[in-house]
Amino acid sequence: MKLIKLLFIFLPSYAFADMDKVCTIDIQQTAATKKDWQEVYNNDCFRNNILLIKGVPHDEQSLFIARLCRFDRNVERGKNSFTCVVYGKIRDL
């Protein structure tokens, strides 16, 4: 019983993630500077951050969403950009 009480005390501090940070990747800008968007993602984006990707046409966004986003959270799509919650590592297709 004491173990359960200890878990309730310490678990909430680990359960919350910082969702206030926005990780922005502009695909056209990374291409212009010859940077790989995956390198930018791996260095700047962390699990549960908000991800904003610009410069991706609507019909190509599905591939990025499938590889980068959590599916238990909303994905907002625009004409050339989308936002979602970062899954963590890049999924293989």
* 88's tokens: 């963590």
pLDDT of residue 79: 95
Other C-beta atoms closer than 10 Å to the C-beta of 51 total 24
Q: How confident is the model at residue 54 (pLDDT cuts 50, 70, 90)?
A: very high
Considering only the C-alpha atoms of the chain, give the largest distance between any 2 of them, rounded to a whole number of Å.
Answer: 59
Residue 90 has pLDDT above 70, yes or no: yes
pLDDT of residue 87: 94
Mean pLDDT of the chain: 85
pLDDT of residue 55: 94
Q: Domain spans of the chain?
A: 18-85
Task: Read off φ and ψ for residue 45, nearest 5 degrees.
Answer: -110, 130
In the predicted model, what is the mean pLDDT of residues 2-22?
A: 58
